[in-house]
Chain A
Amino acid sequence: MEPKEYRQRVKRLEPPRPIARNALWAFVVGGIICLIGQVVQSVLMAAGYNQETVKAPTSIIMVLLGALATAFGIYDRIAKFGGMGANLPITGFSNAVVAPAMEFKQEGPIMGTGARIFQIAGPVIAYGVLTAFVVGLLRFAIMGGKP
């Protein structure tokens, strides 16, 4: 069989991706996680944090919730149907750090947990920092460091 013909046959036999259903679940799961984030933020602000100081503790609590759900094996199940709804929020970032840290424990605390902990978070942080650097450099050049 010609490679081209083969690819066409594979494409025909491939089950169609449930695009609408995936999108709906991503919306629902992502929405609920952001709603929880809003609740956490409101509770903290009622406890005396202001618009600026509330950001860090909100992140910490959301990361904690993501880490707990990961440790108890719940987050993987949510991510299975939630897809990007589970991966895109900060709880998914937490999951991306905690899950490999747990999974690669057998390879030792240094090259297992220590090295793999950044498997997914590493690229996100690296390119995020690079982009922020370039954006900041351009703003610095154009606006001279004014906020």
Chain B
Amino acid sequence: MSYLLAFLVGGALCLLAQLVMDLTKATAAEILVGSVMLGAIAAGFGLYEPFAKFAGAGATVPLPGFGFSLVSGLIKEMPKEGWVALFSGAFKATGAGIKAALIFGIIASYVTRARA
């Protein structure tokens, strides 16, 4: 069941993004930035947490889930760190993914031959 939900919800988010791209003049980069911002705003209203509980990876794997992680990391740190969490919290939950991408990216640039 959780697999079906992940497929359907994740697929639906991607379908929406594709429709926005084909029906408006928005570029891919604008849509990616916009989805992260929308995810972060939804998380601020406390809407994304129940959505992620419902759809699992269908909600957390697409980019709005990245925005959700930025905000939820920040909110979770607030009781402990106070206002400092506004600056330190966003990368708590997202750091692993970003660092992994950077490390694999640099390794890939060394081990692959440059394509013409």
Q: Hey, which bits of chain A sit against chain B, CB under 8 A?
A: 17, 19, 22-35, 37-42, 55-60, 62-64, 66-67, 70-71, 73, 82-85, 87-94, 96-98, 101-103, 105-106, 109, 113, 117, 120-121, 123-125, 127-129, 131-133, 135-140, 145-147
Q: Is residue B51 contacting chain A, with contact meaning CB distance below 8 A?
A: no
Nearest B residue to A39, CB-CB = B3
Q: Which of B17, B56, B60, B70 contacts A26 (CB 8 A)?
A: B17
**Number of B interface residues, CB 8 Å?**
72
**Are B57 and A38 interface neighbours, CB within 8 A?**
yes
Chain B contact residues, majority secondary structure: helix
Interface string of B60-104 (1 = CB under 8 A from A): 111101110111001110110011011101100110111011101
**Are B105 and A67 interface neighbours, CB within 8 A?**
yes
**Are A67 and B108 interface neighbours, CB within 8 A?**
yes
Cα A56 to Cα B56 with chains together (Å): 14
Shortest CB-to-CB span from B88 to chain A, Å, is: 11
Q: Which of B10, B18, B70, B96 contacts A89 (CB 8 A)?
A: B10
Given contacts A60-B96, A88-B62, contact A136 B71 (CB under 8 A): yes
Nearest B residue to A67, CB-CB = B104
Most buried by A among B9, B85, B87, B112: B112
**Are B61 and A89 interface neighbours, CB within 8 A?**
yes
**Are A128 and B66 interface neighbours, CB within 8 A?**
yes
Known contacts A83-B18, A136-B71, A136-B89; 13 further A-B pairs (Cβ under 8 A): A30-B14, A59-B100, A60-B96, A62-B97, A67-B100, A67-B108, A71-B112, A85-B11, A88-B62, A90-B97, A105-B109, A128-B66, A136-B74
Most buried by A among B22, B57, B74, B96: B57
**Are A19 and B19 interface neighbours, CB within 8 A?**
yes
Given contacts A31-B14, A84-B21, A89-B63, contact A128 B40 (CB under 8 A): yes
Q: Which of A82, A105, A124 contacts B32 (CB 8 A)?
A: A124
